Structure 1
Amino acid sequence: MLVSFEGIDGSGKSTQIRYLMHRLEQEGVQYKVFREPGGTELSEAVRAVLLNPDMVINPVAELLLFSAARSQLVSEQVIPLLNKGYVVILDRFFDSTTAYQGYGRSSLPINEIREMNRIASHGLLPDVTFYLKIEPVDAQVRTTGLRRDRMENSGDRFYDLVTSGYNELATNEKRFKTLDGRLSEQELHDQIWLHLSHLMKEDLS
């Protein structure tokens, strides 16, 4: 089973993934977690370039770098693990590219970005995508004082556009499960586990 977590920076994705890891361990479920970009030697090298605050990268190059890192992760790690029956959890997947590079950067038309996503992900679709919905102003409060990378320094207008992109995806994609990112950590985890455990039971039946 392939599970992805999406949302703007500061939405609480990483925290919820940690909660889910603990629950899966308790349940004896084999799982593996990867962050995007990252998860392989090549993908981590690309990540260092993409998040370097001193690096100037044009929008199309940025899109291609994210896609290259994703393709390597999927082929080297995700597909083999899925074939072994693991639950694979992704801290971001191609929906981030649609929201950030498509809506935020407007680097290419959305339909072209979708095709790039299809190629880079080797046709894989998450079984469920948990979208932690939060307004940029609330996310900014959470991240105040933290060291910011190149993407996080993109400005308020950029994050407004990214949020609009995510909201549109959540409306149109049936695999999206939208969650109120303002809820407590435990409340969010309970909702995530309720939905995921149901899907896992269906997957086994």
Structure 2
Amino acid sequence: MAGKFISFEGPDGAGKTSVLKKIGTKLEKQLGSQLILTREPGGNPISESIRRIILDRANTKMDARTEALLYAAARRQHLVEQIIPALEDDKVVLSDRYVDSSIAYQGAGREIGTKAVWQMNQFATAGLEPDLTIYLDIEPEEGIKRIKQHRQNEINRLDVEQLAFHKRVRAAYLELFNQYPDRIKLIDASQPFEKVVLAVQKAITQKYPDLF
């Protein structure tokens, strides 16, 4: 596949979605219809339906493994409908979350095992990984503070977890960064928004000098 696959990752409150949209706006001027912005879980009707089930705050009885399996199922549908066709068509795909999120949130956050979640997603993705992952890092306390200040209308089932959960998530992300430094680029998300965007743009340009 000739396209470029860039995932955006980060703990809740890191500003990941806002940064992705800003980068997307900059790239759209250059790429036009060759740029694909998408998200997980979601991106198509089936995956979006699964997203609503996963994030519904009413689903308090959802088992941790059920949650992980639902994410993997949504991811598989996302791949076959959006990501793989786009990459085969030489497009640039920016995805708001991918497998690293499941490893961090379900594997570590839910404590069902990062290896088990990784293996589950190997089946779902047939081993397809991003070419580049932008990881926006932030202390859990600051991330939770941001959520409470700016996302009251969008708080979901994962956002309301205890601080210990979010600390496990961040620790897992940092471990992934240490394991895959060539793929994952860490950006300090505690900086002012525009500085974060510039740092992300620089990281992408280092990988793909033809972009921007």
TM-score range, shorter chain: over 0.9
Matched, 1:47 2:51: yes
- 1:122 corresponds in structure 2 to 126
Give the CA RMSD over aligned residues: 1.5
* Contact map agreement 1:74 1:122 (CA 8 A) in 2: no
Which one-letter code corresponds to 1:125 in the other structure? E
1:111 is displaced (CA, Å) by 1.8
Matched, 1:92 2:94: no
Matched, 1:11 2:14: yes
Structure 2 counterpart of 1:163, from 163, 166, 170: 170
* Contact map agreement 1:5 1:129 (CA 8 A) in 2: yes
Indicate the larger mover: 77-86 or 144-153. 144-153
User: Which SS does the other structure have where 2:7 is aligned?
Assistant: strand
Summarize deviations over 1:173-199 as a string: whole Å, max 9, x none: 121100001112211111211221232
User: Which SS does the other structure have where 1:116 is aligned?
Assistant: helix
Structure 2 counterpart of 1:31, from 29, 35, 42: 35
- 2:206 corresponds in structure 1 to 198
1:15 is displaced (CA, Å) by 1.1
Q: Distance in 1 between matches of 2:89 and 2:158?
A: 34
**Which segments of structure 1 move beyond 3 Å, counting only runs of 4 or more?**
none
* Contact map agreement 1:71 1:122 (CA 8 A) in 2: no
TM-score (norm 1): 0.94
Ranges in structure 1 where 5+ consecutive residues have no aligned partner: none
Q: Distance in 1 between matches of 2:84 and 2:106?
A: 25
Which one-letter code corresponds to 1:158 in the other structure? F
- 1:103 corresponds in structure 2 to 108
Identity of aligned residues (%): 33
* Contact map agreement 2:104 2:114 (CA 8 A) in 1: no
1:200 is displaced (CA, Å) by 2.1
1:202 is displaced (CA, Å) by 7.3
- 1:180 corresponds in structure 2 to 188
Q: Would the alpha carbon gap of residues 161 and 22 (structure 1) be closer, same or farther in structure 2, given more than 3 Å must change?
A: same
Structure 2 counterparts to residues 130-141 of structure 1, below 5 A: 130-141=134-145
Question: How many residues of Structure 1 are paired with residues of Structure 2 in the alignment?
Answer: 202
TM-score (norm 2): 0.91
Which one-letter code corresponds to 2:189 in the other structure? G
Matched, 1:76 2:71: no
Ranges in structure 2 where 5+ consecutive residues have no aligned partner: none
Q: Distance in 1 between matches of 2:23 and 2:210?
A: 19
